[in-house]
Amino acid sequence: MKMTMRWYGKQDDPVKIDYIRQVPGMTGIVGSLFDVPVGEVWPEDKILALKTDVEQAGLTLEVIESVNIHEDIKLGLPSRDRYIENYKETIRRLAKIGIKVICYNFMPVFDWMKTEMAYPLEDGSTTMAFFLEGVQKTPQEVADDVMSQNEGLALPGWEPERLVDITKLIAQYQDVTEADLRNNLTYFLQQIIPVCEAVDIKMAIHPDDPPYSIFGLPRIVKNRDDLAYICEAVDSPYNGITMCTGSIGEDPDNDLVAIVAEFAKRDRIPFAHVRNVKFIEAGGRDCYESAHYSPYGSHDLFEVMAALYDNGFDGYIRPDHGRMIWGETGRPGYGLYDRALGAMYLTGLWEALEKRHM
């Protein structure tokens, strides 16, 4: 297990990489480029500059998150082939600097959805939350709400130029079924996985967030059966999953621990986002992102980590979204303090699992 933390770069992240380095057990950065238009090839000089910044801080850069998929690929438009060729070239360029995993998603329009960026908790901290009532507004109103709560910082997958007319973008999916979207994902994977195999980079698809339909949009990465379909559609160890326990865990119908165990045993989890969520009412879907510590959430993270350990997981982990605590401000979910606490909690669980087997 390699503990990592997401970092948005020295120009766009209030959290200093030198502080991330001070978290015990922290070995690497999960990085990205946020100033390259979706669908275009990532410039080699910018990739190398990111690697240099990370290595100068004494950390490794082996995972890239948010090489986002152009909407034309998801829609299956004739123009998709140009964007897929661009994606292949980006994969090759990332391989040159030692990247081993690319995290991506195939969610239409919204890369993730929360309705509250600073939901207040009883202890005085704030966190991100999702309320079904919050998506009863128009999509444009929801997008404007989210963008107004981002502390003026870029949010991955929420590019303002792309979301300027949500209504028009959603209308493009009016006749796109889940089967259509699945076929478009399969087409994409059939094109890129041979490149991944050639350059030794694993693709890791992120589950839908939330893992059920909103605004009538199709969802195809929401449960155990969806994950199995994806793995079998292109049966290669380079076609994997970013096991986000928060996203899969947002649907109470998902058996989170069993899903983690199955796909770890299949060796299809090169990367894991591990966090907890708390359902506000039993049987409901409204939830907030709690502290990682199991008693604070609705999931037992010891059992989640055991499902990874016992089934041979040896990939990358990052503590996913944290609360804002101790007066910290910044990008919602990506402050330093609570993610550092989460990293230490997960590292402690892993140490206990290792010693249990000695």
Active site amino acids: 206, 244, 273, 320-321, 334
Polymer length in residues for the chain = 358
**Listed residue (312, 258, 250, 311) closest to 275, CA to CA:** 250
End-to-end CA distance of the chain: 17
Q: What is the 3-state secondary structure (H, E, C) of 47-110?
A: HHHHHHHHHHCCCEEEEEECCCCCHHHHHCCCCHHHHHHHHHHHHHHHHHCCCCEEEECCCCCC
User: Are the beta carbons of 20 and 8 closer than 8 angstroms?
Assistant: no
* Residue indicated by tokens 């990205």: 32
CB under 8 Å to 345, separation ≥6 — which residues? 292, 293, 301, 319
**Listed residue (53, 56, 16, 21) closest to 343, CA to CA:** 21
User: Are the beta carbons of 273 and 245 closer than 8 angstroms?
Assistant: yes
Cα–Cα distances (Å) from 129 to 103, 115, 119, 277, 297, in that order, read 23, 6, 6, 9, 13
Q: Which tokens hold the place of 32?
A: 């990205």
Render the burial of 66-87: b for 16+ CB within 10 Å, e for the rest. Answer: bbbbbbbbbbbeeebeebbebb
